Amino acid sequence: MTRPSIDVIAIGNAIVDVMAPCTDEDITRLGLAKGGMTLVDTDQAHALYDAMGPAREISGGSAANTLAGLAALGAKCAFIGQVAQDQLGEVFAHDIRAGGISFATPARPGEPPTARCLIFVTPDGQRTMNTYLGASQFLPSAELDDAAIADAAVLYLEGYLWDPEEPRAAMRRAIAAARAAGRKVAFTLSDAFVIARHGDDFRAMIAAGEIDILFANEHELAALTGIEDFHAGITALGGQIPTVVVTRSEQGAYAIHAGEHAEVAAEPVAQVIDTTGAGDLFAAGFLFGFIRERPLAECLRLGAICAAEVISHYGARPEVNLTELVATKLG
């Protein structure tokens, strides 16, 4: 087995976030599910955008955010995802490449446009996401570069992208390519609705030993395992998957790796401004420690530090030099 030249290659939605502050009354009035992620069609996206206050656009996408964190920490990364040939597609491509991440998927001509996520942020920092998938759901299996996947130590997959058919087929092919090359497969469950629709797929993949590292939050863990009790649930999953990492918002995070258990408290934050990307950046910090073969507790601490940075400002990509931040925090 040759030494891979890329640390992490990820497949995910190529999304630009459109973010605006709102009140709790706005959430109620618009009939949104506070704190959740809802897929919206073109008409719903237009109606919600019309109802949204002045916004700002910042590149997003769960796996892409994780890579932005990993690259900021010093990892070599590559991204696979589908944008359209439009201005938002150019914005997404610019931002990911400007972060030092390889991105070679050609933009898709014609309709639909590049994906966007309309994010309403309440004064408590909670984000309510409404995703118009657009071009992102048409990532063709043919666009996968098996050689690039075989050349990365970790293949990182975003659960959100398991929902549309074409990217699901692409991800299945990517898993096969990574496993054939002896690489690790990391998967983030993304949202409870994904598990509601595709839980059987995930459970079958886990049973078949196709997932090496699983990221979830506690709600997704319960949905996947059907076990209410947190410790019972993660312990059961830890018996099936080599590395399981579960985030618990302000209660910190918990991981099991090869039978070893570790836990971390949430990193203190002066003020939670916008929780968008918290899980994505936790995964970035954890994976960075993991690929550098740091102790399990340190991997969790790295995740907590990166998550705390991203929730202290608008947008799901890091805004400070994460390498310096981590060096200061770890001493």
Q: Which of residues 7, 95, 158, 220 is near a second copy by CB under 8 A?
A: 95
Q: Which of residues 11, 14, 32, 52 is near a second copy by CB under 8 A?
A: 52
Question: Under rule CB under 8 A, which residues in 173-212 are in contact with a second copy?
Answer: none
Q: Which of residues 36, 39, 44, 49 is near a second copy by CB under 8 A?
A: 49
Can residue 107 be called a binding residue for a second copy (CB under 8 A)?
no
Can residue 131 be called a binding residue for a second copy (CB under 8 A)?
no
Can residue 58 be called a binding residue for a second copy (CB under 8 A)?
yes
Q: Is the peptide bond before 112 cis (omega within 30 degrees of 0)?
A: yes
Q: Which of residues 45, 68, 157, 287 is near a second copy by CB under 8 A?
A: 68
- Mark the segment that binds a second copy (CB under 8 A) among 92-100, 168-176, 206-214, 303-311: 92-100
Whether residue 140 contacts residue 134, with contact meaning beta carbons closer than 8 Å, is answered with no
Can residue 53 be called a binding residue for a second copy (CB under 8 A)?
yes
Q: What are the structure tokens assigned to 80, written together?
A: 């696979």
CB of 101 to a second copy, least distance (A): 10
CB of 32 to a second copy, least distance (A): 17
Q: Which of residues 1, 31, 43, 54 is near a second copy by CB under 8 A?
A: 54
Find the radius of gyration of the CA atoms of the chain.
18
Q: Which residues contact 219 (CB under 8 A, 6 or more apart)?
A: 192
Can residue 110 be called a binding residue for a second copy (CB under 8 A)?
no
